[in-house]
Structure 1
Amino acid sequence: MKRMSAWIFALFLLALIAGCGGGNQATSSSSTATNELPAVLLDTSISVKGDAQRGQEVFGQCAPCHTTTKEVLIGPGLAGLFSASGPNLPKGVDYNGLLPNGKERSESNVAEWIRTGGTGKIGYMPSHNLTDQQMADLMAYLRTLK
């Protein structure tokens, strides 16, 4: 029994160490950084059906309020929307990595936010009636913004 407990404890420690990622070690590989993203940000179930080039055209509807960089207009710059750090928000605004409606930044939640709109700390986001294909194209384009 002691031997089995020791094995379980050793496996627990190994899992704990692996989950910690080795502390403050810097990684230079972008694939490693991608693997560290939460699953919700890695889900491409909508964007995989889209075309980023067509999505750039769809983004024209968003351009009056959003940039494709980190520059803030009326709304946040959307570069990095699906990165760990998220989009660049105005000074003093922090959604704790979530959308203004309190949901995670998954493609389906971003699509819902775009379609329904709402009010956040920055202001009002109007709803946009996009087809499923337009939304897939837009998500594919938003994924290219770094």
Structure 2
Amino acid sequence: MNRTIAWAFTLLLIGLLTACGGNQQTSSSAPVTELPAALADTSLSSKGDPKRGKELFGPCAACHTTSKEVLVGPGLAGLFSASGPVLPKGVDYNGMLPNGKERSEANIAEWIRTGGTGRIGYMPSHNLTDQEMADLLAYLRTLK
């Protein structure tokens, strides 16, 4: 009788584990790309309003698109993605900004404020308040 109870218990346990998924692993067809810590940090953009940032982007549209299309400067879609924005053919910043710094909100804000020369051309400086910068970065984060 004890053997029967042991077998019944074992079969019940196997049934429960099978019903709950047991030790099965699920796989996703979409690759999971974790952002580097510098790109995942939203300490500036979290304080911003993307709608106001979109309005502030107006003058930027003279050189940048909100897509992956390249004008004078790169299209800014994907700026905060692991792969980064699409650059003109033959230009590769190795995932960094034109000034050689990693892409982070603080470094992107610095690049926007100070400008400089990259392999594509010259980025003029833009005098934005901290709130305007937070708004602009919040908007740039929406560009996929």
TM tier relative to shorter chain: 0.7 to 0.9
Q: Which residue of 2 aligns with 1:61?
A: 59
Q: Match of 1:62, SS? A: helix
- Deviation per CA, 1:5-37: give whole Å up to 9, x if none: xxxxxxxxxxxxxxxxxxxx86527xx43xx11
- Deviation per CA, 1:68-119: give whole Å up to 9, x if none: 0000000000000000110010000000000000000000000000000000
Amino acid at match of 1:40: A
Q: Which residue of 2 aligns with 1:37?
A: 35
Q: Which residue of 2 aligns with 1:100?
A: 98
Return the alpha-carbon distance in structure 1 between the equivalents of residues 61 and 29 of structure 2: 34
Which consecutive residues of structure 1, in runs of 5 or more, have no partner in the other structure?
1-24
Whether 2:78 is the aligned partner of 1:84: answer no
Q: Pick the aligned partner of 1:141 from 122, 139, 142.
A: 139
Return the alpha-carbon distance in structure 2 between the equivalents of residues 26 and 129 of structure 1: 44
TM-score with structure 1 setting the length = 0.78
Q: Match of 2:135, SS? A: helix
Q: Which residue of 1 aligns with 2:130?
A: 132
Q: How many matched pairs?
A: 118
TM-score with structure 2 setting the length = 0.79
Return the alpha-carbon distance in structure 1 between the equivalents of residues 131 and 58 of structure 2: 16
Q: Which residue of 1 aligns with 2:50?
A: 52
Q: Greater Rg, structure 1 or structure 2?
A: 2
Return the alpha-carbon distance in structure 2 between the equivalents of residues 131 and 27 of structure 1: 43
Q: Considering only aligned residues, what root-mean-square deviation do their CA atoms show, in Å?
A: 1.4
Q: Which residue of 2 aligns with 1:8?
A: none
Which consecutive residues of structure 2, in runs of 5 or more, have no partner in the other structure?
1-26
What percentage of aligned pairs have identical amino acids? Answer: 78
Distance 1:108-1:27 versus aligned 2 partners, 3 A rule: farther
Return the alpha-carbon distance in structure 1 between the equivalents of residues 28 and 98 of structure 2: 31
Q: Match of 1:143, SS? A: helix
Return the alpha-carbon distance in structure 2 between the equivalents of residues 28 and 112 of structure 1: 34
Return the alpha-carbon distance in structure 2 between the equivalents of residues 27 and 112 of structure 1: 38
- Deviation per CA, 1:30-83: give whole Å up to 9, x if none: xx43xx110000000100000000000000020100000000000000000000
Amino acid at match of 1:83: S
Q: Match of 2:57, SS? A: helix
